Amino acid sequence: MRLSRVWGRMLGALCVLPALFSGPCWRSAKKDVENKMTNKLTHLDDKGRASMVDVTAKAVTARVATARAVVRMKSETLAMIVDDKHAKGDVLAVARIAGIQGAKRTSDLIPLCHPLMIGSVKVDLAPISAAELEILATVKVSGPTGVEMEALTACSVAALTVYDMCKAVDKGMVIEQIALLAKQGGKSGDYYRAESGAADDATNGAQEA
């Protein structure tokens, strides 16, 4: 008799479970999770369509971003660049200007980026081994959104310019390790890539801005 009552209660509980997982509480909890997941992709609207983030109401604050790229090549090619013996001229100077120009034109290249009144772009190119050229770009702005994409674009365009100028002598060059090293400012807070050691550079950049 007792056993039958226990089984009856268990069966009753099992019958209730479908109602629990289809009821308003469950649907509300499920919706909250979906909203949190959707909010991570700020360039998608509630229907999953690509859209530009509305920054109209965001505060104008100082923002800094630093990015990096590496161009790997033959040691003879890098020596030619460093010694300024390329027939086309000063590779490093041209790539530096190209990187600055690339940062300023980022919104023309990346569809959902906002046009920004950039305050400063600094692009540095230097060998880090006998066959590797490192490119560092730091971008500063006072605005409602960050300049991570501008820093990444500066590095990318500078690296592509190095390839363009040197492809006649070294078509096997590789552009790699394009990454954001650090960013400061904005609602999401500061970010420093763990292995970059770029925190001091970014901090100095923010103080100068």
Instruction: Give the active site residue among 46, 84, 108, 164.
Output: 164
CA distance 78 to 138: 23
Spell out the residues 6+ positions from residue 33 whose beta carbon is closer than 8 angstroms to its own: none
Is residue 164 annotated as a catalytic residue, yes or no? yes
Total Cβ atoms within 10 A of residue 157: 25
**Cβ–Cβ under 8 Å, residues 133 and 184:** no
Between the alpha carbon of residue 28 and those of residues 32, 39, 56, the distances in Å are: 6, 16, 30
Total Cβ atoms within 10 A of residue 170: 16
Q: Which residues are catalytic?
A: 164
